[in-house]
Structure 1
Amino acid sequence: MSKDAILGAIRRGLRRGPLPADQAAMLAGRLATHPRHLIPARSRVSRPEQIALFVRNVEKEFGSVVRLADAADVPGAVADWLAAQNLPPRFVMAPHPELEALPWADRPMLGFEARRADGSDTVSVQHGWAAVAETGTILFPSDPTRPTTLNLLPESEIVVLRASRVVGAYEEAWDLLRAERQDAETGGFMPRNLMFVTGPSRSADIEQTLELGAHGPRRLHVLLIEDDAAAR
């Protein structure tokens, strides 16, 4: 059902007619310009400070971060983290071109499959699309090369993220998504799902006792590739 059909059904249910021309123009203008509301001052800092803020916020929310000089260091960092957590050197990985191009052969003891996760997978390696410094949140638009199940089913999730994809505020992340999706290839379609991940899954619903892994991974580890010279 189209947007016009949905809005028309709502108007009929409310017994309202078509929007007056001035209201329609006002709404179209807001959709086109994406006006800003108040943006927290903590995100309005230099690039190095934004990256540092992102790292602090991930760690504050019970995640961990390792900063890497180059993408080629990712396989070694994955192997080191799995060993440190006493986890088997096996994982399921997002079938993303950037991840598949990494030099995994340098670590022949690692075993992985590039696919969606299922209930038997204990560790996932996911491709981070972008992140927001003000809260330490990582964004994952749904995509065949970035399966959503990798963020939900395994107990441990490793996210490979480029520092150049860390923005200060949420508004900038939405700007980035619109800019990348509004082209000839996608026809301007937004992803069906955009997942926001801020640290491991957790809940304190029962007796106010914090429990990690309540409805997703109990461990979140970020491999941050230092590809932004301005952020160093």
Structure 2
Amino acid sequence: MSARDSVLGKIRASMGSPASDANRRKAVMNRLEEAPRGIIPGRAQLPEAEQVELFCTMAEQFGATLARVSDYGDVAAEVSGYLRAHNLPAAIRMGADMRLQTAGWETEKNLEVRDGPSDGGDLAGVSHATAGIAETGTVAMMSGQDNPTTINFLPEHHIIVIKAADIKGDMESVWSMVREKQGKGEMPRALNLITGPSRSGDIEQTILLGAHGPRALHVIVVD
């Protein structure tokens, strides 16, 4: 036995760890499958319809603008309307998310849809959220080619589409949803939690929008 094995053996013995690798792996898997949940506040335990309303209220409270549409076919028209209202070019950057691909873009003849990650030259980007957190108005954005992370941070205007059914009361429920959706060993490289547009108050406690990301966040809830 090497000195390393001897030291590790003493550590395992003092901790009461199982000796075999198979037993240790089983212990780890049991711990992951039975992950404890924290205390969930009462405001996060509302009926589903009220969770959606709370999400909308909190998103606006933290500086986002918000629109609700009945189905995905109305998303393109809402995006075009947002661009016109803010005097922006009729162009967006978007990933490969299939829900966004079928969001009625063919009805907006003057809108240019650019595919793939942003290189920093886009004024507006559109992403689809994985989930929403009602108690804080936060959107959870899973990384990957469907919704490139660069679109979350580089365009000045970020438009996020979210399905009402994916809005959960609390962050713990969102993590459970991601684990169930992705499965063990298939978690995304990153999961960004975004609450309102980018802001900073580092200099003289004056709030500055767009310091580390988009200066405007527009959320479209698909009922």
What TM-score does the superposition give when structure 1 sets the normalisation length?
0.85
SS of alignment partner, residue 11 of structure 2:
coil
**After the TM superposition, which of the residue ranges 97-106 and 62-71 deviates more from structure 2?**
97-106
What does residue 65 of structure 2 align with?
Answer: 64
SS of alignment partner, residue 150 of structure 2:
helix
Give the whole-Å Cα distance in 2 for the aligned partners of 1:29 and 1:180: 19
- For residue 194 of structure 1, the aligned residue among 191, 205, 208 is 191
Percent identity for Structure 1 against Structure 2: 37
**After the TM superposition, which of the residue ranges 92-101 and 51-60 deviates more from structure 2?**
92-101
What TM-score does the superposition give when structure 2 sets the normalisation length?
0.88
What does residue 174 of structure 2 align with?
Answer: 173
What does residue 40 of structure 1 align with?
Answer: 41
Alignment of 1:144-183 (within 5 A): 144-182=145-183
Alignment of 1:88-127 (within 5 A): 88-127=89-128
What does residue 52 of structure 1 align with?
Answer: 53
Report the Cα offset of residue 105 of structure 1.
1.3
- Aligned partner of 1:210: which letter? I
SS of alignment partner, residue 135 of structure 1:
coil
CA contact (8 A) 2:134 2:169 kept: yes
* C-alpha RMSD over aligned residues: 2.1
Give the whole-Å Cα distance in 2 for the aligned partners of 1:37 and 1:218: 33
Report the Cα offset of residue 27 of structure 1.
6.2
Report the Cα offset of residue 94 of structure 1.
1.7
- Aligned partner of 2:203: which letter? I
- For residue 219 of structure 2, the aligned residue among 209, 218, 222 is 222
- The superposition leaves residues 120-159 of structure 1 with CA deviations (integer Å, 9 ceiling, x where unpaired) of 1110011111111111111111111110000010000001
Q: Which has the larger radius of gyration?
A: 2
What does residue 17 of structure 1 align with?
Answer: 11
Alignment of 1:124-139 (within 5 A): 124-139=125-140
Give the whole-Å Cα distance in 1 for the aligned partners of 2:160 and 2:108: 18
CA contact (8 A) 2:67 2:221 kept: yes
Report the Cα offset of residue 90 of structure 1.
0.8
Gaps of 5+ in 1: 1-7, 227-232
Give the whole-Å Cα distance in 1 for the aligned partners of 2:71 and 2:197: 25
- Aligned partner of 1:17: which letter? I
CA contact (8 A) 2:72 2:102 kept: no
